[in-house]
Structure formats: structure tokens, C-alpha cells
Amino acid sequence: IGRALITYCETQARVGGFGSVSLYTNARMTANLRIYPRLGYVRTGRGREDGFDRIYFSKDLTSA
């Protein structure tokens, strides 16, 4: 289901004319930390937000 949601998000972003997609996950979600790079996402940062340790990712949609 997660991959389908990511694919849908990327498709809608392309249709909307966006050149990239950004997302974040909790650092404790280790499965997410493995899957996002496999789907073409690049880690762009890390920080605390609302008491959570966040890992930020981005994917360039213009070269895909």
C-alpha cells in the first residue's frame, strides 16, 4: 500500500507540474529509511520537530 501511495503522489505531482517531491519520516521507522532510497529518494536532512526525530527526503521528478 505504501508504494502505491508514493506512486500516486509522484504521478499527481508530475501532473501538477511539480519538479520534485519531499517527505519526512520518523527516524525510528527503519523500514522507511531503507525503502525511500530504493524508490529514488535522497536524504536531505535530519532534525527534531514536534518532539520527533525526523529524517527528510526529496526526489527529483524531472529526470525520472
For residue 41, which of 25, 64, 62, 60 has the smallest C-alpha distance? Answer: 60
Compute the CA torsion angle 7, 11, 12, 13 (nearest 10 deg).
Answer: 100
C-alpha cell at 4: 502505491
Domain range enclosing 38? 2-60
CATH number of the structural domain spanning residue 12:
3.40.630.30
The structural domain count of the chain equals: 1
C-alpha cell at 33: 529509511
pTM over cut 0.75 = yes
pLDDT at 63 (0 to 100): 80
pLDDT > 60? residue 64:
no
Tens digits of residue pLDDT in 16-62: 999 999 999 999 999 999 999 999 999 999 999 999 999 999 999 99
pLDDT at 52 (0 to 100): 96
d(CA 52, CA 16): 30
CA count, 13 A, side-chain hemisphere, 36: 22
